[in-house]
Every structure is written in structure tokens, then in C-alpha cells.
Structure 1
Amino acid sequence: MSTLLRSCLIIFLLLQSMWAQASPTVSVYYGKGASLSELALFDISVIESEHGYDPVAYRKAWPSSELYAYASVAEAGLERKYFAKIPEAWKMARNGAWNSIVIDQTPEQWPAFFAEEVIAPLWNKGYRGFFLDTMDSYRLAEKFNEEDQQAGLVRVIQKLNERFPGIKLILNRGFEIVPRVRDQIQMVAAESTFRGWDASAKRYIDIQPKDREWLLGQLQTISKRDKLPVLSIDYVPPHDREAMRETAKKINELGIIPWVTDADLRTLGMGLVEAKARRVLILHNGSEAPVLNKTAAHRFLEMPLNYLGYIADYADIRQKLPANVTRDRYAGVITWFDGSIPDKRIKDVRDWIKTQSVQKMPVLLLSTSGFPINRSLPFGANHTEITPVHPLKKVKESNLYNFETKVLAPDNDYEGWTLTPEILKQSEELLSFDDAKGKHFVSAAVTPWGGFILNPYLIEEVPGVDQARWVINPFSMLQKTLRLADFPVPDITTENGRRLLLAHVDGDAFPSKAELPGTPFAAEVLQREILERYRIPHTISIVEAELSPKGLYPQWSQQLENIARRIFKMPHVEIASHSYSHPFYWEESNQKSTVSKEVNLNLNIPGYTVNLDREINGSIDYIRKNLAPPNKPVEVFLWSGDTAPSAEALAIIDAANLLNLNGGDTSITRSNPSLTAVGSWGISKGGHLQVYAPITNENIYTNLWHGPFYGFEKVTETFEMTGAPRRLKAINIYYHFYSTTKVASIKALHTAYQWALKQDNHPIFVSEYVHKAKDYYEFAVAQNGDTWIMRGPGHLRTVRLPASLGTPLMSSSHNIAGYQTGPDGYYAHMAGGAAEMQTVGTIPSSEPAYLVDANARIQDWAAQPDGSLSFTLQGHVPLEWSMKLPQNCNLSSAKNDISPAKALVNQPNIRVFRSSQTSAKLEVQCRARP
């Protein structure tokens, strides 16, 4: 090591601990794929402004983070809007590697031009920070005066500070001018301390030691002399996350802010903060199911992925497969084919999968490969040349097996894979057999490249009934094969430690007559028997054609509309639409499915054929104009029929800023005790999200309303089985108006409500649940050393901690209001859309006060260094909550309207409180310890 480099290292290491506290975290990302929540993981995110970001809205949502706009000072790309205004005389040279023009910095008018044409439009959009690039590009010209060019750059910086008071600037290089502008800039960046990109050769390179020494000398001088933080942007192939991680670590050890990314800055790289890749790409054959909702991968696999914290994206192999599937976005790739894929697609699919594997993307093949697996793939596997000789003898069986049904002996058509000795040595066999000649066949394994689980040892269909069972533990299977590490999982089942409770009613049969004295309308019975008795949040919908004077029952329309108005006035009722004509099919391709003769395409309205806009916007408009009280919103749409809307229908929902729910069909019971009967959070089509109802409706429990009509009582089994041993779903009481037409079904409703209200629940409206579900798909989680960083739009406020992560350490966490023990780990409560959390194995005795659980939402959370707290609980029902209060702390309310504290017998520091109000402003005051 040279003397210069050794000196640089010593100085940097001495300053490192100070910088770790003072220096911000920075990302530089010019792509379009990252969510705003992911950018908010960093104190500063440098972005390409032309991608449509709103810095004002961003700043309001995440005040601890700021978007900085990229701006090129000494170069201009031909695509920039201001390029045509640049005089020819200012153009010094061409940068062929980036297809841009080098701009002379010496013209007197240049600083004003740059300020008004480049920065002012961005400033007017709300940007207050800027990353100034290409500071040294004048050196690409054949002739230039160094001092004059640098003086021009100084004038640019001065002009920006004069024209835009409070502007924040990061310079990319421009080392020589830093002493003259150090009071006018925030940070200095440089590229390629350890790893770089050769734009001419189009390849990644290692930086030569002499070049690194020179660069470190420049950065050390700026840090020591000018007291400015310095940033290094290094370039590594995007699939090589380990190299990225190691490079970021080396940069950080020198006391420099690290950012390591790809050459085009199109992937979300890493620095001290490393975001978790939360997406998994699933390949399927779209010809195997009429709609995406019906595919095996979606029906069975997406729920376990969601539970583990991951989002499923789908790619239909009949279409061109996606490019740039990178490790910053995706944790793995899964294929699930139920048979052979078309011959014409085999080569493309094989090549695509090979590319992913070569680029270190974990690949999991499920069910059947769909195409021949041989030695041409980097899998070390073969299933095309060898047929096993029966009988087969079981050799290995992992404890992941026999999850919901036992492993059966292989059938005569058994197909296993033979693995090369090298791959076999590096793999963990989960299930394998030897044939009669001693040949070894593997049915399931964790391999160096990912893994495979072959039929029939994945899911077993139950003969004679429409049921299935997992043969293998799907959660462990996914974690082991895709190498999924534990992290705080955004959770939509829970808030503030209590399981969410929502109730909603589909509008079908609003006008039906109940089999009760006087034959009242079903809606009247619902109001009397349910809504007036159970004053928890309800979301109630109607089908327009059943109520409107122009609909099916004009003779009753006035009565029916009046009933709807009375229901919609109730303060604990949220208004929703269940469409205009109740379409059974929302996607044309699904209409070709074989269905019961009893299914109608929609209500029989003379002269009307289904129109998506009429069904959605038209029905919402009818309710707003005719049924909803003034100033009460109508923003929820509940899908009807097969609840499988097309991408077009979902796009209409999003364009109208509506919220949607229904589908999913979660109906696990003791007679069907399988996770295959538990749906996912939702499904995305064409970039639009359908949110599923947590639990299915009474139609399933009553044999499509053929009876038994008390069948909905079994929904309590579903509530129990989706609550433990894993909390998979919120409690959702979901039914139709026709459930209030029969004595048996009314009793079943009371059973469901009474069970739910005995639990420690957190009641919410459907709209609140849908917002949380949508947040799940935008939520970002990252790690900075031993600190977890969470960012989300703010509706989803709970993260579940797998057992391996331990317990939240309240004294070292920020914006974590508390935690509660759940059936499957700790549930930590975020007090807003942003939080940082540390965890610990053993809870220290000196932990401060925190919220254990509550049936209401946290607002205005503020924690003081002495342990004092102030916050508001806002709910829909009389408040219940509990707190861990050290002996030196007391809780009080602004209105003094809470019951005396009741301590738990086995946990004396945890106190239980109640209030007859639905809102309370609370304070925890702590005396100094003796």
C-alpha cells in the first residue's frame, strides 16, 4: 500500500464514526421501476425528473427523505427539451459514449440560461435539491482553457444560489472548484472508487490502484479541508449482489458514502441501506386456465408468498418474456406448468430460464418443467433419457413433507430427475427414490441454482371433491429454494396488535322478501337485525337495477330507495356499489368456461348488454345522486359474479379513484382443512390491483344457497383456521342481503358476529382495509446494519417479525409505537408511514413505555427522550387498549374520560384501559428514576 493511500485510510477511519452520524444515505436511480416507498428508504434519492415524480407530494408523504433531480451541467442530451435553444457557438464537442454534446462554460449568458432553462422548470415543480453531473466534461474538447471553464462552473453555482434561495446541490466531481463554492453546495460525488464502467468497451472494470489513490486523495482533501460529505458511485453487474455488497462495504470503511449500482443506474443498487427485493416472477401457461385468477400458481402459491412478505408478478409464456429481471426487484423466479408448453415456445422459455440462472437469480421449478430438462441447461439435471424400473424404494424424505397429506408411493408413470454427481453433492434432497436397478431419481431438491418440486409431490388433488392438499410445506419450500431471508413482513391482518375485523354486504336480493312475519324486504331485516344491533363498521352495497325506478322492480322502487337512504345515513355504514346489472363474468375469456345452467350473464334488463363503464361509474353515479347523504363518499366497488375482473375493468376503477374488493374465496374449514383454500391478498392485472375479500361469503357455506341455510355458521371455523397457527387473514363477515330472508341464515349471521365480537379485534371499514392491501404492494423494507427501515404510504401500519428476528428494541427504534405477541411472532406497530426498528433476543428490563395493543388507529405520535409519550387513538367503537408502563410512568387523557388502569395478573407493568369514547388524546408522563 502506498504512503498516500495509507494516509488517506488513516484519516478516513478517524472520521468514519463522526460521518456515520452526520452523513446522509443516498441513492442514485434513473430507472422507472422503483416505488416511491423504496426511494424514501434513503435520506436523498437522486432521480430522473422526466419520469413524472411529484416532489411536493413526496416531501409531504416522507418528510425525512428528499428527491433530488438530475441535471447535466456541461453536457446536454439531444432528447432534452432545452437542447434546441442552445446556441451552436456554445457546443464544444460530442460525447459519443453517451450521445450528448459538451457545452462551453465560458459564455456570459450560460449561467442564466442553465438556471432558467434547466433548473427553473424543475424548481417550479417542487424540486429543491439537484445532482449536477458532467462537471468536468469540458476536458473532452480538443481545445479549452481550464481556468476559464472552471470559472464558468463557479458562476453557474453562484447563479443557482442567487436565483433559488435554499437550493441544495451535489456536485459530481468538479474537485478544483470546490474551495470556491463549498458554502454553496451540500456534497461532492465521484464515480468508481473500486469498480467502474468502461463506456467505450461496454464492460465493467476494476479500478487500478493508482487511479484509486488519486481519487481518494481528492475526496480526503474535500472532507478535511471543506468539511463536506463525499459520495462514491461505483458500478457492478446488477445480478452480482454479493459484489455490490462487498464494494459498498469497502467504500464505507473509507468513510465515504457508498452507492453501488449498474452502469445505467436503472436498478436500485445499495449503499449502507440495502432494500429487500420483494417481488417473485412466476411463469405460467395462460392456456391452462381461462383467467389468471384460476391458474394453479395464483390459487395455491401466491398466498404463501404474500405471508412471507413477497409480491407475485406473472408472465404468460405465450407472450414475450420480460427482460431485465434483476435482483434489485426480484427475489426469485418460479415456473408452474401443469403440462407441456407449446413446442414453438420451448426454446425461448429455456433460453430465458437459462439466462436467469446464469445471472444468479434463484429459480424454482414446480409441478412439471413443461419442457425437456437435459444437460444443456445449467441445472445438472436430466429427465429425458432414463425411465425408472419399478418398484421404487424411498431413499430420502425431508421433514418438509407430509404437511397436509402423506407422501404416496410413486405411480407407474412416475418421472424423477437424475442429477449429476457434482450437483447432487451440492444439493439437499427433499424427496428421492431408487429404482429396481439402483438408479437414483429425485422428486424434490434444493439445488445450487434454486430447486424443483415435481408432481405428485407438490399438491395432491382429493378424489371425488373439489379439494387439494399440500404434500410439502409451501412456506419452508419457498424459503429454502429461493433463499428467502427473514425480514419484517408488512401485514394487512393486524393493526396495533389486534386482528382486523370488517363486515361487508353484497347488494344481491336487497328487494327479496324475508320468510318472517309481514314478509319484510331483506334490507329492512338487515337494518333491524344486524346494523342496529352490531354497531361496528359495515360496508353496504346495492345493485342499481334492483332499486332504480328504471330497473327490475319499479313498483317497489320508492320503498327500496328509502330503505337504502336510511341505511346509508347510519354513521357506521360505508356506501358501496355492487354494479348496475350484476354481471357474472367481468372478463370475456371466462365466459367460455363451463358453468351451471343457473348462472345468468347478468340481470335480465331489456335492451341492455353489459358495459363496464355503466356497471362501475354509472352505478356509483346513481348512488351518489339518489341514495347517499350529502357529503358522504361513495368510493367502494364490490365485484359481483365470478369476481374475476379484467384489466380493463380494473383500469376503470383506478381512473375513477375507486376502491375495489371481492374474490379470493378463502373458505378453509375443518371439512376442508387445507391452505389451498386460503387465497392471496389480491391479484394484479395490467398494472391494476384487485383486492380480495379476506374471507369468502355465505354462498360457499350454503352450497350456492341450496342449503343448509345455517351453513354460514362454519365461517367461524374459517376465522379460527386463518388466525392460527399463522395469522393469514383478517376477520371478515361477508354475505348477501338474502342471508336475512331465512330464520336459519339469520341465526348463522348472529353466530358469526358474536364469535367475532368476542375476540380482541380492531374494527375497520372495507375502504380502510383496501388501502392497507394496496400499501402492501408499495411497502419497502431495507436494512442498514442492525436497523430495519420501513417505508409505506401510511395506511399499512403493522410489520410481523418472524421468530428469528427477536423482539423490537423500543429504546433504539423510531416511530415504533409498540408491539404485541401474535400466534406466529411479534407484531410491531408503526406510528406512521415511516419507521426504523432494531430488534433484540432478550428484552431489557429498562425498556420505555409502549403501546401493547389497541382497537383504534394511532395519530400524532410523539416520543420524548425521557420516555414520555403523547398520541391520539381514533377508532370506530369505544376504545380498548393496553400499555406497558414502567413504574415511574403514568397515563392520562386530555378529557379524563378513561377507566382506571387494570394490571394484568402475570404482567404487572401492562395496564388495560377503556373509554366510552371512540377517540382519546393521551399522554404518558415519566418521572426521573431515583
Structure 2
Amino acid sequence: MPKLVSLLLWTLGILLSMPVHALPAVALHYGAAAPLSDLKVFDIVVVEPDHGHDPLLHQRSDSQLYAYVSVAEVQPSRSYYQDIPAAWKLARNGDWQSDVLDQTPADWPEFFASRVVAPLWARGYRGFFLDTLDSYRLAAQFDEAAQQAGLVRVIETLHQRFPGIRLILNRGFEVVPRVRDKIEMVAAESLFRGWNANKKRYEEVPAASREWLLGQLQTIRQQQGLPVLVIDYVPPQDRALARATATQIQALGFIPWVSDSQLHTIGVGNIELLPRRVLVLYDGDETVSLNYTNAHRYLHMPLNHMGYIVEYADTKQPLPQGIYRDRYAGVATWFSGFVPAAKGKELSRWLLARASEGMPLALVDDFGFLPDRSWAEQLGLQVGNLGIEGRLQTVRQHPMMGFEIAPPVPGREYEPVRLVGKSAAQATPLLELQDQRGQRVVAGAIMPWGGFMLDPFVLVALPGTEQRRWVIDPFAFLTQALRLPPMPVPDVTTENGRRLLMAHIDGDGFPSRAEMAGNPLASEVLLKEVLQKYRIPHTMSVIEAETAPDGLYPQQSAQMEDIARRMFRLPHVEIASHSYSHPFLWNQEVKHGVFLEETQKDYHLELPGYTFSLEREIVGSVNYIQQRLAPAGKKVQIMLWTGDTAPSGEALAIAHRAGLLNMNGGDTFINRSQSSLTAVRSHGIQKDGYIQVFAPITNENIYTNLWQGPFYGFERAIETFEMTGQPRRIKAVDIYYHTYSASKRAGLEALHKVYRWALAQQLHPVFTSEYIRKVQDFYGYAVARDGQGWRVRGGDALRTLRLPANWGAPALAQSQHVAGYREGTEGTYLHLTGSSAHIQTLEKTAPPPPLRPFLYEANARLKKWQGNPQATQTAFTLQGHVPLQFSLGHSSHCQVRAGQRLLAPIRTTTTPAGANVQMFELTATHAELQIVCPSH
């Protein structure tokens, strides 16, 4: 494709992805670890290329990385610094420790193009932010006209050498008229607020300097017709000032970017990224693995369900710095006691610093240290020596208390808290207690700085069981303590309005004999009675040591491998590995991926002569399956974790490098007899930057008391499916079990019952790999406020947003890349057509919009949704795994066609919001469809 055509198509993509009449959203981030997954919500992202970013990896049709390049200054750290002749150096910039370069030498433009830009062009950069254009003025003597002519030659040379190059100039106002056809934007710094590099402080720009700069910028925009980018600087913790400054800039018609002086945080532009990360602090000494900490078990799921990504910080390690509101919505802690004294001092100081910066805090269960008087008073608290007499009694409780069980009566060991100072007047007590003298204390409160709730009023353990119950509503508490705003929530449970259905099988028990006529292998029974019967997507795995000729069952290997090959040939079965030796513990003492010799026998199936290796377990088992069992052209896609399902970061890294998805763990096990959300886990967990994806629902081993009986226990998974679907749809329906379920008639009948229930529901069948990619997309999804609407960008796997219930229906005519919506119990499920969208909701007072057809629900993926502006014709394509079912809203006055065939609805209903909905069915799993409506 010609480069000019590519440029035009890219520009068209940017324009189509933006709200009508909007200028492009521009961000600058020069940090070494620039959060590109968040920054992709901006159309243009300027980065420091020496940090190693890959522009091709992050290139999208709606967002692209630009490289920062300095034209008239150079720092000694640049690779080309030593090759610059001394005669080309005009002066020294002491504020930034750089040399100022003369623009007049004849060889300078070619040097700049070849040594500075060409290597970046080869890496894939096509856009460049040209900085320091006016630095020649730092020299004691210079010929201004000659310097400007040199800058023009540099820009002309770049266009000659690199057709299609896109350039943003930082200042250089005098040369703009001479190169206006060669640049796409002009930038300037410090219109309202700036950074004094000499005095190392943020300052308001003097009025005279502002007026001069404003005149220059208005001239550029009005006379040259170019967009103007204004970059201002404010302290990174002052988000309100950044927002107010951006609003001032935007009101003048310029593109704003307001960030810190180093451009190391995500600032505020003409859109504002909504921070979706919550940092959770925990004490790593409390458990053997992050998977088992209370912080993870109980805080992670509610935050995930509300759309937030959880990152962890272990107080055994130095606490992280640079935690600002640009990316973090808040900080939460869950300690079950005190951390070591030295760490307690560091922790208390760290929390106080975050509170002083305006970062909301949610402190749960215990502070983690004994608060001293100064610390407590600064947060409006008084702790210890309160003079409490007698037993405490509850005198008032907030509605969020008593969520699953009533607050307990506090014992004598409980340390109450009193609210004091100005914060007391602004606080909302959640549980007020009173002693026999009438003195009031609290167990928790929503405070100006966040909120806290202390043990034993967070969870209650049921005597004689391992069950817990929430005393406090975790959704309400976290929302109010962390000041979480309503937002479109990326939702991994649903696509096109229907809850997802998946099935995956761990290979355990492949050699087991079924207690049935002829004593067949359980794997043979599974193949014939389940996989060949239920033609929905399945993920099947094997344990190499069980099926391989050199494994534990060499005499049965040929038969088992034949069964596995027949399973893997089925088109509705994808292939996974369940490891080589089925490790029982993944995250113990590890050195370079090999477990210590003296503890091997406790960790996996007993294989003579085998020394445990993570590479062998993961990569080796995949190679075995690929070479001996998988049909040609069908790849092993997934690693299903075994045993405790708590892989280390190193294990996750090995799977990632091998190109494998991964899943298992979590053990969501809510049912009628354990009816608490404390038994529902998160989407997954991050370790060392890698994501372990949890199975949505636990397997039959848990329902059958570790396969001790009752063997029909897995039928209770239906209860789990129902309770994770209402009143909150928290999980997909996941039929998850082991091969040995087919070894007993009761187990097999339980499977049939679960499958029959699932197939009777209106669900959306997907492969496990499709679900895993949705969870991965959840972690990389970017959501931003865009005027009165929202801009979202992610991967292409996650296509559903859940809108708050009080937002009502979306304004389809004003939204982009939205095919439709369906009401749910918690809000509205929005169906996106791709990896990005702009969403506008209907104003409560606005007149009803014209009715236009929309997709209400479908059991298949949208491969295309394309309509004309008048909404008289819409073409769309559905691709599913089972015969198609779909419903259309506001289509009763239209014709619906599959190819040339006119379709008749099988049913017509009315939604709670009053929309007329028609349901259609096809025997095909793929169809190209049209909606043709009369013109108005």
C-alpha cells in the first residue's frame, strides 16, 4: 500500500474514532515504564524512544506512539552525542544538562535525519515530536534568520527522506508558516502553569508571558489552520488543579495536556483517563502465597466486579512510590495483625503521605501497626486508652452493615476508635458503640480521607466450619471509602447480552476404570457420553505422566493416547496441558525453576528419577501433546494449573514465553449451604506482571468432598451458577471437572444434569481460550471521560460494558461502535463491535430519540455491524459455536434477511424499558444478515 494512502487511512481512522468535531487527544509520557495499556486511550502518545518501547507492538488504528526527539539540544546519554562535531555546539543548557546545537551547518539536516530519526523510523515510529526548536536563543551570539532557515531545512529533509512522516513542532512559531504543509500540529509549554527548572518548583505563569504566548498560539490556529497543543505542568498529586488547568486550555480551543514536570504521570487532556487500579497492601508473612491472603480472597472480587484492577504490595518489601491518582483510584489494606515494628513505622508514614496527597484509603480488619497519637490525630482518630467501661453495645449502624450477617457483640479484646477533630464532623460512622457510661466509639467510618472498618465487624467465621460471612457490604464500603465514581465496567461474564457458557476438563483420572459394564477407561466413557454428545465448546487436557508410553501406565498408554487423539480431533474441543507430573504445590522454594531436591516427593506424582522442573512441567508437556496427540494444524493453547493452582510468577512467565494461555484456581464455591460472597473469587491475580486467570467456578472435587462422596455432588454446581448470576452476574457459567467424573455412574449423571441445565438457559457458548483472553483484556482496558460521554479502548476479546442502572439506555445515534444493549439486574449490558467505542447516554430530560434497530442479544460473536446514518440499512455478521439465536430491538417495522432469505421472528416481546424485541433462530453457526427499514 502506498505510504500516502496509509497515512490517509490512519488519519481517517483517528477521525472516525473520535466524537464529532473533536480534536485528537494527545498525551506525553517520558517515563521508562510508560503505562501504554492505559495511554492507548489517547490518539497520539509521545514517548521517550530510548526507553525501548515497541511502536509496532502498540500501534492501533485509533492510537499511535510518537517519538520524542530533540532538534537543537542533545544530552550526553544519546547514542549519537560523541559523533557531533564540537563546532556545532553553540551553548550549554545548565537546567537540563544538555548542549545547544547550531542549525546552520550544511551537513546538520542529513546528520539529524540519518543518526536521530532513521533508527527510530526503522523501529516503526512514524510520528515525531520535535522539541527544543528555539534553543539557539540560549547562545550568546546567533543569527536568528540563519538558525530558522536551518530548522526549515531539517524539516524539509525529514519529508524527503521519510515520506508520510508526521511531525509535531514544540514552538518554532517563526518557521511554522514556511512548513505548515509538512506538520500536523504545533505545541507550546506553560500557558497557565509551568515548571521552573532552575528553582525546581511549579509556578503560575506571569500574565504578560501568558498573553504573549496566547497571541502566538491564536495566530497559529487562526492564520495557519493548525491544531495547537498546550502542555502545562502541575504537581502530580494535585489532580483537581490539573483538571481545572486542562479545562482552561480547552476553553481557548487548544488541545490540553497537563502533567508533572518530568512527564512521568498520566496527565489530563481533552479526555481524562479514569484510574482503574487499586493498590492493596498486605503482609506476606501471614500466608505462604498471595493467593491465600485475606486481602486477595475478600477484597479482590468486589473490586474486579466494579471494574477495578488490583495490584499488590507486600509490606516485607519497600513500599512503592509514585502512587498517584493518574492511574490509581485508591489504596486498600487488609492486615490481620501487626507487621514488624520497623515495617509498621514505614507503613504508617507511607499511608499518611498518601492521605496528604489526596489518595483515598480503605483500611480493613486491622491498621497493621499500633497507631501513635500524632498519626491517629492527623486522620481524625483517637486509638487506645479511651477509658471504656463495661461491655460495648451497638447503638447505631449504617445500612451497609449486616450485609450477610448481623454485627457481632464485641468482646473485651476489641480496641475501639473514637472520631475526633474536624474529621469527626465530616465522617459517617458505620457502626457506633456505647459503653455503660454512654461514651460513644466507632468500629468503622467513612472519613474525609477514605474509610476504615475493623475486626470483628468485617467478617464473621461460622463456628465449626470454614465458612465466613460478610458483616459489611464490601461493594458499598469500597465504593464510598475509595470514592469510586460510576463508570462503564468492562465485563468478562457476558457477550452480546448473554452470560457466557464454557466447559473445561482437567485430565486427572484418564487411566481410571469406570464402574460400568465392561470396566472401560473413564476417558473412553467421557469421550462417548459427554464430548460426543454435548457439542458446545470444550477444553480438554491430559497429564503427560498418565498417558505417555514412558509414564506411569505404559501398558495402557496406546489405548489412552488413541482416546486423547479422538478427543482432540473433535472440532468443538480445544487442547490444553495439565502438566507432566501434576504438581501438588507450585509455589515453594524455587531456584532457577527447579525445586530443591529434598522436598521433591511432596510436590508431584512419584516418577522414578525425575527432578522437578517448571520448564519440563509446562513446555515439555505441551511438546508431548503437540507431537503425539494433537491433529495436524491444531495447537495446544492452554496450561491448566494443577494441585494448589498457585503458580509462581516464574511459572506464569514460562507459560507466557511458550505462547500459552493459562487458567485454574480461585475455587468459587458458593451454594445454598455456603451462601456467602466470601466464597466467590476474582477474575485472576497478577504476579510479577503476569496474569493467572482463575476458573470462574470450582470443580467437582470440591463438591464431592475431595472425591470421597457424595459422587453426585457436582450437581450442586447448578446452585453456584444461579447464585453467581443473580442478583449480581459475577461469573460466567463454567462446567469444570476432571476425567474421573466419568468413572462413577453417580458422577456421570451429575454431569448430565449440569449440562442439561446449562443447555436449557439462554447462554453464549465460548471456548475457555476466548474467556481467558477476555480476562486478559480486562487488565488492559482503558476507560476515559470524553466530554459528556466515555471513550473506551481495549483488546478485541472483551466486547461488553456494564453501565450503571441509573444511566438508562445508551444514545445509540450519538455513540460509536455500539451495536446494542440489554437490560440486566445491575445495569445495562452494552454490546461493542470492536476494540474501541465512544459511548453517550441519554439525558433524562432529553426528548426520546428516533427508534433505530439494535442488537438486543445473541449467542454468537459479532464479526461486523455496519449501518448507514439514516438507520435504514444495517449489515451484520454473527459467528458462533452453536446454532444461532439473536434478538433485535425496534425492528418490527423492518425486514430481517439472511442472504436473500427473509426471516420471520419466532417470538416478539417487550423489554422492561418498553422496547419491542424480535427473536430469530437459524440452524447455521455463521450468518451474514441485513436489517432493511423503510425511510422516514
Measured against the shorter chain, the TM-score band is over 0.9
- Map 1:205-284 to 2 at 5 A: 205-284=203-282
1:880 counterpart = 2:882: no
Out of 671, 675, 678, which is 1:676 matched to? Answer: 678
Work out which of the residue numbers 836, 858, 863 in structure 1 matches 2:867. Answer: 863
Give the CA deviation at 1:889.
2.8
- Of the structure 1 ranges 91-100 and 666-675, higher mean CA displacement relative to structure 2 is found in 91-100
Counterpart in the other structure of 2:632: 630
2:46/2:67 contact within 8 Å kept: yes
Check conservation: 1:899, 1:914, Cα contact below 8 A. Answer: no
2:559 counterpart letter in structure 1: Q
1:926 aligns with 2:924: no
8 Å contact 2:37–2:781 — kept in the other structure?
A: yes
Letter in 2 for 1:660: N
Q: Which moved more, 1:48-57 or 1:496-505?
A: 48-57
Q: Which stretch of the first structure deviates more once superposed, 622-631 or 866-875?
A: 866-875
Query: CA offsets, 1:833-889, max 9 Å, x none?
Result: 011111125693513211111111111322321212222101111111111134543
SS of the residue corresponding to residue 901 of structure 2 reads coil
Aligned to 1:797: 799
Q: Counterpart amino acid of 1:826?
A: T
1:915 partnered with 2:922: yes
Which residue in the other structure is 1:693 paired with?
Answer: 695
CA contact (8 A) 2:892 2:918 kept: no
Q: Deviations over 1:11-56 (max 9, x none)?
A: xxxxxxx998153221112224454442222222212223333333
Scaled by the length of structure 1, the TM-score of the pair is 0.95
Q: Which amino acid aligns with 1:186?
A: E
Flag the 1:507–1:20 CA change in 2: closer, same or farther, 3 A. Answer: closer
Residues 1:94 and 2:101 are matched in the alignment: no
Q: Which residue of 2 aligns with 1:68?
A: 66
Give the whole-Å Cα distance in 1 for the aligned partners of 2:590 and 2:726.
35
Aligned AA for 1:864?
N
Higher mean C-alpha displacement, 878-887 vs 48-57: 48-57
Shift of 1:329: 1.2
Letter in 2 for 1:862: Q
Checking the alignment, whether the CA contact within 8 Å between 1:586 and 1:646 is kept in structure 2 is: yes
* Residues 725 and 731, structure 2, Cα contact 8 Å, conserved in 1: yes
- Aligned partner of 2:7 in structure 1 is none
- Relative to structure 1, is the Cα distance of residues 397 and 169 closer, same or farther in structure 2, using a 3 angstrom cutoff? same
Partner in structure 2 of residue 573 of structure 1: 573
C-alpha distance in structure 2 between counterparts of 1:905 and 1:681, whole Å: 33
Distance 2:726 2:338 in 1: 38
- Counterpart of 1:555 in structure 2 is 555
SS of the residue 2:549 aligns to: coil
Matches within 5 A, 1:510-659: 510-588=510-588, 601-659=603-661
> What residue identity is the alignment partner of 1:580?
Y
Q: Does 1:439 align with 2:439?
A: yes
Select which of 896, 907, 910 maps to 2:901.
896
Q: Does 1:849 align with 2:863?
A: no
SS in 2 for 1:713: helix
Shift of 1:723: 0.2
Q: 1:905–1:445: structure 2 CA closer, same or farther, 3 Å change rule?
A: closer
Tell me, yes or no, if the aligned pair for 1:373 and 1:381 is still in contact at 8 Å: no
The alpha-carbon deviation at position 64 of structure 1 amounts to 2.1
1:414 Cα shift?
1.7
Shift of 1:238: 1.1
Residue 184 (structure 2) aligns with: 186
- 1:346 alignment partner in structure 2: 344
Aligned counterparts of 2:257 and 2:367: Cα–Cα separation in 1: 39
Task: Return the offset for 1:625.
Answer: 0.3
Distance 1:194 1:782, change over 3 A: same
Q: 1:897 to 1:564 in 2, by over 3 A?
A: farther
User: Residue in 2 aligned with 1:459?
Assistant: 459
Aligned match of 1:424: 424
Contact 1:374-1:381 within 8 A present in 2 as well? no
Determine the C-alpha separation between the residues in 1 that align with 2:682 and 2:230.
41
Query: What do the CA deviations read for 1:798-834 (whole angstroms, capped 9, x no partner)?
Result: 0111113322111111001111112211100111001
SS at match of 1:777: helix
Letter in 1 for 2:222: K
Q: Secondary structure at the match of 2:780?
A: coil
Question: Structure 1 residues 355 and 899, CA, compared in 2 at 3 Å: closer, same or farther?
Answer: same
8 Å CA contact 2:363–2:453 kept in 1: the answer is yes
* Structure 1: distance between partners of 2:330 and 2:512: 50
Distance in 1 (alpha carbons) for counterparts of 2:704 and 2:340: 41
Residue 115 of structure 1 corresponds to: 113
Rounded to whole Å, the distance in 2 between the matches of 1:20 and 1:739 is: 56
| 8 Å CA contact 2:331, 2:360 repeated in 1 | yes
2: CA distance, partners of 1:845 / 1:254: 32
Report which stretch shifted further, 498-507 or 425-434: 425-434
CA distance change for structure 1 residues 845 and 226 in 2, over 3 Å: closer, same or farther? closer
SS in 1 for 2:770: helix
The 3-state SS of whatever aligns with 2:637 is: strand
In structure 1, what is the equivalent of residue 77 of structure 2?
A: 79
Q: Deviations over 1:498-529 (max 9, x none)?
A: 00000000000001000000011001110111
**Aligned counterparts of 1:641 and 1:666: Cα–Cα separation in 2:** 16
Pick which of 733-742 and 117-126 moved more.
117-126
1:640-789 aligned at under 5 Å gives the runs 640-789=642-791
Q: What amino acid maps onto 2:188 in structure 1? A: A
- Counterpart residue number, 1:7: none
Cα separation, 2, equivalents of 1:163 and 1:720: 63
Deviations 1:259-307 (A, max 9, x none): 1111111111111200110101111110001100000010011000000
Shift of 1:446: 0.5
1:82 Cα deviation after fit: 1.6
Query: Which sits farther off after the overlay, 878-887 or 275-284?
Result: 878-887
Maintained 8 Å contact 2:19/2:838: no
**Counterparts of 1:33 and 1:860 in 2: how far apart (Å)?**
35
Give, in angstroms, the shift of residue 413 of structure 1.
1.3
Matched to 1:445, the amino acid is: A
User: Aligned-pair distance for 1:553?
Assistant: 0.6
Q: Is the 8 A contact 2:895 2:902 kept in 1?
A: no
Q: CA deviation at 1:767?
A: 0.7
Unaligned runs of 5+ in 2: 1-17, 592-598
SS at match of 1:715: helix
Q: 1:841 to 1:211 in 2, by over 3 A?
A: closer
1:432-511 equivalent positions in 2, closer than 5 A: 432-511=432-511
Q: Which runs of 5+ in 1 are unaligned?
A: 1-17, 592-596
Q: Distance in 2 between matches of 1:56 and 1:275?
A: 23
For the residue of structure 2 that corresponds to 1:839, the secondary structure is coil
- Cα contact 2:373–2:383 (8 A) shared by 1: no
The one-letter code sitting in structure 1 at the alignment partner of 2:401 is: Y
Letter in 1 for 2:899: A
Contact 2:891–2:918 (CA under 8 A) maintained in structure 1 = no
1:290 touches 1:589 (CA, 8 Å); kept in 2? no
Q: In the alignment, is the contact (CA less than 8 A) between 2:671 and 2:723 conserved in 1?
A: yes
Deviation, 1:336, is: 0.8
Q: Which residue of 1 aligns with 2:9?
A: none
Residue 923 (structure 1) shift: 1.6
Distance apart, 1:349 and its partner CA: 1.1
What TM-score results when the alignment is normalised by the length of structure 2? 0.94
1:911 is matched by which residue type in structure 2? Q
Measured in 1, the distance between the counterparts of 2:143 and 2:26 equals: 33
Q: Work out which of the residue numbers 187, 196, 199 in structure 2 matches 1:198.
A: 196
AA aligned to 2:929 is L
Post-superposition shift, 1:927?
Answer: 2.3
Which letter does structure 2 place at the counterpart of 1:270?
V
Distance between the aligned counterparts of 1:894 and 1:36, measured in 2? 42
Shift of 1:113: 0.8
* 1:376 partner SS: helix
